[in-house]
Every structure is written in C-alpha cells, then in structure tokens.
Amino acid sequence: MSWFELDEKKLGGKSVIYRHYTIESSYKKLNDCFSFGYDVYDKDLNPIIRFKTFDNAIKCIDRLSK
C-alpha cells in the first residue's frame, strides 16, 4: 500500500494531481456490475489508462515522467 491512499473508503469522485497528471477514483459499469478503479488523465484531461489500485496509477505516472 502506498504512503497515501486517494479514496480509502472507495466512495468515488476524489481526485489528486500528481506530476502534471490527474488521478481520479470512480466506478465504471462493466457488464452488469460496477467496478471501482483509478483513472489517469493527462494535463488536458484526456484519459490515459485505468488501474485497480492507486499504487499502480502512481507507478505508471512515475514511468511516464522519466
């Protein structure tokens, strides 16, 4: 687990800016159920990728920022 968890209670609708990228917690409907995850957006708020964990979203941004 990371030193900071964006949405510990998994309510959705929370966001944070990290290295010029935005990470937002949300629920997406997949088939007939909802899935919680973290969406990564670029500086223009274009969606890049979705992760199941906040740590994976941070690691992805760290790799993109190199």
Rounded Cα distance between 11 and 3, Å, is 19
Q: Is the pLDDT of residue 55 over 90?
A: yes
Half-sphere exposure of 56 (CA within 13 A, CB side): 9
Looking at residue 2, its pLDDT comes to 52
Assess contact for 43 and 20: CB atoms under 8 A: yes
Task: Look at residue 3 in the predicted model and tell me its pLDDT.
Answer: 54
Return the DSSP state at 57. H
pLDDT at 30: 84
Domain boundaries of the chain, sorted by first residue: 15-64
- pLDDT, one tens digit per residue, over 10-51 is 999 999 999 999 999 999 998 899 999 999 999 999 999 999
Q: What integer pLDDT is reported at residue 1 of this predicted model?
A: 41
